[in-house]
Amino acid sequence: MKKVGITGGMGCGKSTVLNEFRKLGIPCFVSDIVAAGYYCDPAFLDDLRALLGDSVFVADGTADKRAVAARIFADRKLLEGLNALVHPRVMDDFDTFCSRHSGAPYVLFESAILFDYGFDRLMDSVVCVYLDLEERLARLSLRDSASRDQLMARIDHQLPAEEMMRRADYVILNYEGNPRARQVAFVDKSLRQ
Ligand code: ADP
């Protein structure tokens, strides 16, 4: 099974580009969405409680994701602890996803932190969706109700988009007016070979 990573900085248009690949029948694994589902899994919640304690849980037993984010982004060790809980589960689920789609020409694995944690080494190729910082901030301020400083704080946790672009095998430039579908068709054709 050919595995293709797709990455890019927050707000560059990964989800939008992924939809173009879906139109071509390519199975897409979105790691953020899969990982968000773990917050409904009692075994994961037990591990989370062991890592972060009761303070990130609310009365009904669910975890408060904002409280989790506040703790882990303030303490590198806790961030690593959470990654150690999440990443192996994501890779197991991705393996299951691949076996379910064994007839596909390739599968896409979407992650903004693909290079940061070495997931790229598990992929046959990597596609980067690129947009410069100012353009991303402009789009994100329309999508999320967050200030420029809040957006920058999140962006600063990621590898610079230019570094992602440098390390990728394919780059899709997602500027308005650029022929996105044509770029995706070109990459898709190459990946099918
Ligand atoms: P990511 O998944 O990388 O965070 P999204 O796909 O959610 O990014 O795109 C960020 C925002 O930019 C969304 O509101 C999306 O609708 C918008 N967007 C994406 N691609 C384009 C484009 N080519 N032209 C204009 N707006 C776009």
**Domain boundary, last residue among 85, 100, 115:** 100
Q: Exposed, middle or buried: residue 113 (CB in 10 Å: 0-12, 13-18, 19+)?
A: middle
- Do 111 and 139 belong to one domain? yes
**Domain boundary, last residue among 100, 129, 159:** 100
Distance 77 CA to ligand 1 centre (A): 32
- Are 31 and 111 in contact by the 8 Å Cβ rule? The answer is yes
Distance 139 CA to ligand 1 centre (A): 7
Q: What is the DSSP letter of 106?
A: -
Rounded distance between C-alpha atoms, residue 99 and residue 118, angstroms: 22
Ligand 1, residues at Cβ distance < 6 Å? 8, 10-16, 139, 143, 174, 176, 180
- Model's pTM, two decimal places? 0.92
- Do 164 and 96 belong to one domain? no
Q: What is the DSSP letter of 176?
A: T
Looking up tokens 């599968």 gives 107
Distance 130 CA to ligand 1 centre (A): 11
Residue range 101-155, pLDDT digits in tens:
999 999 999 999 999 999 999 999 999 999 999 999 999 998 888 889 989 988 9
Which residues on adjacent β-strands are paired with residue 129? 172
- Do 45 and 95 belong to one domain? yes
Q: Which residue's C-alpha comes closest to atom 4 of ligand 1?
A: 11
Distance 8 CA to ligand 1 centre (A): 11
- CATH code, 129: 3.40.50.300
**Domain boundary, last residue among 72, 100, 128:** 100
User: Which pLDDT belongs to residue 157?
Assistant: 84
Determine which helix (DSSP H) or strand (DSSP E) holds 180, and give its type and residue range.
helix 180-192
The distance from CA 34 to its chain's CA centroid, rounded to whole angstroms, is: 10
Q: Could you tell me which residues come within 8 angstroms of residue 38 by beta carbon, excluding any fewer than 6 positions away?
A: 44, 86, 89
User: Which pLDDT belongs to residue 146?
Assistant: 84
User: Which pLDDT belongs to residue 170?
Assistant: 98
Q: Could you tell me which residues come within 8 angstroms of residue 21 by beta carbon, excluding any fewer than 6 positions away?
A: 6, 28, 108, 184, 188
Q: Of all atoms in ligand 1, which is nearest to the CA of residue 142? A: 14
User: Which pLDDT belongs to residue 4?
Assistant: 98
Q: Which residue's C-alpha comes closest to atom 19 of ligand 1?
A: 13
- Do 59 and 79 belong to one domain? yes
State which residues of the chain have pLDDT below 50. none
- Do 111 and 190 belong to one domain? yes
Q: What is the DSSP letter of 54?
A: G
Q: Which residue's C-alpha comes closest to atom 22 of ligand 1?
A: 176
Which residues on adjacent β-strands are paired with residue 63? 57
Rounded distance between C-alpha atoms, residue 171 and residue 109, angstroms: 15
- Do 1 and 53 belong to one domain? no
User: Which pLDDT belongs to residue 77?
Assistant: 96
Q: Domain tally for the chain?
A: 2
Rounded distance between C-alpha atoms, residue 81 and residue 92, angstroms: 18
Distance 33 CA to ligand 1 centre (A): 17
Q: Which domain covers residue 88, as residue numbers? A: 32-100
- Are 107 and 29 in contact by the 8 Å Cβ rule? The answer is yes
Q: Of all atoms in ligand 1, which is nearest to the CA of residue 178? A: 23
